[in-house]
Amino acid sequence: MSGNNKVIVVTGGTKGIGRAIINKFAKSGFDLITCSRNEEELFDLQKDVKNTFDARINVVAADLSKKEGVDQFIEFVKMVGKPVEILVNNTGRFLPGEVHQEEEGTLEELMNTNVFSAYHLSRGIIPGMKERKQGYIFNICSIASLNAYPNGGSYTITKFAMYGMSKALREELKEYNIKVTSLLPGATLTASWEGVDLPEARFMMPEDIAELIYSTYKLSERTVVEDIILRPQLGDL
């Protein structure tokens, strides 16, 4: 990795919002570290980023829904050997259903993927940020962190929890000059909406979220955007 480039860690970087963030920060001169469960998709991403942006990107296959997968990714980040400037907790999964009748184990599965992954990874990355008194954490929450919606079930529960964790980190870390921003996007054109019979124009683009993250990061040290709510122009789906 280049000696002068700052490092951004993005979980779930091969698709959707994560991929858009990777592209934006690669174009902006950052070195990148990301993970996914699919090794083939990671290698395709690595090749595309190197060819398109001439950027440095390190990838590793890791299942962050499991604590050992998070630990493996933390060790990989440490092995890269450069301070983490930005952490984006993006890994997430949506399963439709209703709390009172969804499949047994849905809550546990989604908590592991949507909340515990970010919790454990943040705990692994934050000590280095505290030591340097510098860093930025972006947590990808959801509009479901604010309002329940039909068939949201356990996904809504996990996104409320993610937003709560993000608020807690903001209070805990501000004295160390570490910024924490919660992003709460509505319907975005990602794999979660594959197969839905709706026009693309009804969704937000992942690139808009990536642009907003970059713009927020570039604000002066004296300012932090705590919460960002984004919705499709025509409203929630």
- Which amino acids are annotated catalytic? 155
Two tokens, residue 197 = 């019979």
Q: φ, ψ for residue 218 (rounded to 5)? A: -80, 0
Rounded CA separation 27/9 (Å): 15
Residue 218, burial from CB neighbour count under 10 angstroms (0-12, 13-18, 19+): exposed
Q: Who contacts 97 (Cβ-Cβ below 8 Å, separation ≥6)?
A: 103, 106, 151, 153, 154
* Among 98, 90, 236, residue whose Cα is nearest residue 157: 98
DSSP labels, 33-60? EEEES-HHHHHHHHHHHHHHH---EEEE
